[in-house]
Chain A
Amino acid sequence: MDLIYREQILEHYKHPFNFGVLDNPSSEASDNIVSCGDSLSMQVLVKNKSSLVADIKFQGSGCAISIASASMLTESVKGQKIGDLKNLSKNDILTMLGIELSPTRVKCALLSLEVLHKTLNQLT
């Protein structure tokens, strides 16, 4: 069996966390990978000008890697400082997923990080 499709990844794909929309998001952004047909949008809620993520939701369609990555990432950023999240890197995502990916699949894994950064950068 391909190690990429370990149980945890499949569970996140089938039943993703934080899938949906927020009522009053502080910021939202989306992006896609045209070559894969993956698309992802994210909404972040930041309360009272605090620098913490109060809530986060995402929507989109994609392969197991990109959806699982979005599910795990959104779950992990709740309550985190915006400033810290802006420093999240490719390696942090790959560590979070805990799987080895070929170069063509790394971009699936990183879509959620790109959209998160886009969303956070739009916060004023």
Chain B
Amino acid sequence: MLDTDELKNDFPIFSHIKDLVYLDSGATSLKPRQVIAKENEYYHKYSANIFRGIYKISEKATAEYEAVRGKVAHFIGAKNSREIVFVRNATEAVNLVAAGIGKTLKPGDEIIVSIMEHHSNFVPWQQRSLKKNANFKIWNTGRDYMLNLLELEKLMSSRTRLVAITAVSNVLGTINPIKKLVATIKKRIPESLVLIDGAQAVPHMKVDIEDLGCDFYVFSSHKMLGPTGVGVLWGRYELLHEMHPYQYGGDMIQAVYIDHTDFKDTPHKFEAGTPHIAGVIGLGAAIDYLKDLGMENVRRHEIELTTYAFEKLKLINGITIYGPTQMEDRGGVISFTIEKIHAHDIAQILDSRNICIRAGHHCAMPLHLSLNLVSTARASFYVYSTEKDVDALVEGLKFVQKTFS
């Protein structure tokens, strides 16, 4: 069990805003001082560019930056740190793969995504499909807010080139059975590729990429205690090796001639230009922090807290909670609506008590439309979230109802 009261001391924002009840970690997590300090360390002590300087501080910066690549690989169970590409965010990671795969798409090929995808794992595939006359197919959830593997098998055909699925829904909280899902896809069409959006998974539970069997896996630093502006793409070495660069410029070249350019191998051929060096180094500190806590403990804490919140919230009059009801099947996310009160009004009134929740479609408009909803309110938890935070939310919601009564 995590000692959350102790843990809160690591997050400077709580000393600035003493009564802050932050329940929007699904959007972005708060940052511990260890991460902020590590990012500052780069700016204070060795803020040189990487891969260039024949001088000590540049070599130090390069070593720190590249060490995080190894750290990330180890953290998600990747065999080879060359399979780790640093990008701006999970969205850019998906776009990078969509651009690469997109080049080889033929009319009539199929891309399958689930209805519960974040726009970041939806729009890039939709747009590629439109451009290439590929079939863009949607895998719908059942009434239990879960994806049914039999439905997927029915959707797939010999033309299925890629399936892009989120590991955890940022709205429903549904934890998808990725290992089984990948096995089903590969058994049906071995050549089809699988991309997993792990933005809501890597921060919250142990992920072992080799065990999952997917081809690409993306996630963001800023949702896992790390700095904004850094995302991670993991891809199988042979796939990344074959894929064309996403952007061209400095840092990604081996040699440049008037008439042609030789590119570096992965991952550097995908990292054109000076990257967010401080951010990547900060991500390393975030991983250290999570490792110290233990991902099993992080997950257990969230199951306990989500169970507690679920029990408390469902007692509120007129509330509808979306997503699976078994806590083992859901991450630390609870989306809900309250009868006759718009989600924005809920969020605005809660804000007057310094309670931060998300309101809207949470970048998952297709899912909301499929559920006949215009918007939902969402509370999401992380390592620093406490039962006290949940109690404040419940009291806050009662106050919202009183205001509108």
Q: Point out residues on A near B: beta carbons under 8 Å.
A: 1-2, 4-5, 10, 13-14, 34-38, 61-65, 105, 108
Asked whether B33 is an interface residue with its Cβ less than 8 Å from the other chain, the reply is no
Q: Complex: how many Å from CA A115 to CA B342?
A: 20
Q: Are B375 and A36 in contact (CB under 8 A)?
A: yes
CB distance from B371 to the nearest CB of A (A): 12
Q: From A101, which residue of chain B is reached at the shortest CB distance?
A: B348
Q: Complex: how many Å from CA A64 to CA B348?
A: 11
Q: From A63, which residue of chain B is reached at the shortest CB distance?
A: B342
Q: Are A4 and B348 in contact (CB under 8 A)?
A: yes
Q: From A35, which residue of chain B is reached at the shortest CB distance?
A: B360
Question: In B322-350, which residues have CB < 8 Å from any A CB?
Answer: 342-345, 348-349
Q: Complex: how many Å from CA A119 to CA B25?
A: 42
Chain A residue contacts of B404, Cβ below 8 A: 10, 13-14, 64
Q: Are B342 and A62 in contact (CB under 8 A)?
A: yes
Q: Are A35 and B361 in contact (CB under 8 A)?
A: yes
Q: Complex: how many Å from CA A35 to CA B343?
A: 12
Q: Are A1 and B360 in contact (CB under 8 A)?
A: no
Q: Complex: how many Å from CA A95 to CA B403?
A: 23
Q: Contacts A1-B403, A62-B342, A63-B342 given; indicate if A37 touches B348 (C-beta within 8 A).
A: no
Q: Are B374 and A2 in contact (CB under 8 A)?
A: no
Q: Are B365 and A2 in contact (CB under 8 A)?
A: no
Q: Are B344 and A63 in contact (CB under 8 A)?
A: yes
Q: Are A1 and B361 in contact (CB under 8 A)?
A: no
Q: Complex: how many Å from CA A93 to CA B342?
A: 21
Q: Are A5 and B360 in contact (CB under 8 A)?
A: no
Contact sample, A vs B, 30 pairs, CB 8 Å cutoff: A1-B352, A1-B403, A2-B349, A2-B351, A5-B345, A5-B348, A10-B404, A14-B404, A35-B360, A35-B361, A36-B374, A36-B375, A37-B342, A37-B360, A37-B361, A37-B368, A37-B374, A37-B375, A38-B374, A61-B374, A62-B342, A63-B342, A63-B343, A63-B344, A63-B345, A64-B404, A65-B344, A65-B345, A105-B344, A108-B344
- By DSSP majority rule, is chain B's interface helix, strand, loop, or mixed? helix
Chain A residue contacts of B349, Cβ below 8 A: 2, 5
Question: In B162-191, which residues have CB < 8 Å from any A CB?
Answer: none
Chain A residue contacts of B345, Cβ below 8 A: 5, 63-65
Contact residues on B (Cβ < 8 Å of other chain), bracket: 10 to 19
Chain A residue contacts of B342, Cβ below 8 A: 36-38, 62-64
Q: From B342, which residue of chain A is reached at the shortest CB distance?
A: A63
Chain A residue contacts of B343, Cβ below 8 A: 63
Chain B residue contacts of A61, Cβ below 8 A: 374
Q: Mark B376-405, 1 if CB is under 8 A from A, else 0.
A: 000000000000000000000000000110
CB distance from A106 to the nearest CB of B (A): 12
Question: In B205-250, which residues have CB < 8 Å from any A CB?
Answer: none
Q: Complex: how many Å from CA A10 to CA B345?
A: 11
Chain B residue contacts of A14, Cβ below 8 A: 404
Chain B residue contacts of A37, Cβ below 8 A: 342, 360-361, 368, 373-375
Q: Are A36 and B403 in contact (CB under 8 A)?
A: no
Q: Are B375 and A2 in contact (CB under 8 A)?
A: no
Q: From B376, which residue of chain A is reached at the shortest CB distance?
A: A37
Chain B residue contacts of A4, Cβ below 8 A: 348
Q: From A37, which residue of chain B is reached at the shortest CB distance?
A: B374
Q: Complex: how many Å from CA A4 to CA B403?
A: 11
Chain B residue contacts of A1, Cβ below 8 A: 352, 403
CB distance from A64 to the nearest CB of B (A): 5
Q: Complex: how many Å from CA A104 to CA B395?
A: 25
Q: Are A105 and B374 in contact (CB under 8 A)?
A: no
Chain A residue contacts of B352, Cβ below 8 A: 1-2
Chain B residue contacts of A105, Cβ below 8 A: 344, 348
Q: Complex: how many Å from CA A14 to CA B345?
A: 13
CB distance from A108 to the nearest CB of B (A): 7
CB distance from A3 to the nearest CB of B (A): 9
Known: A5-B403, A38-B342. 17 other contacts (CB 8 A): A1-B403, A13-B404, A35-B360, A35-B361, A36-B374, A36-B375, A37-B360, A37-B373, A37-B374, A38-B374, A62-B342, A63-B345, A64-B345, A64-B404, A65-B344, A65-B345, A105-B344
Q: Complex: how many Å from CA A108 to CA B374?
A: 14
Q: Contacts A2-B349, A5-B349 given; indicate if A34 touches B403 (C-beta within 8 A).
A: no
Chain B residue contacts of A2, Cβ below 8 A: 348-349, 351-352
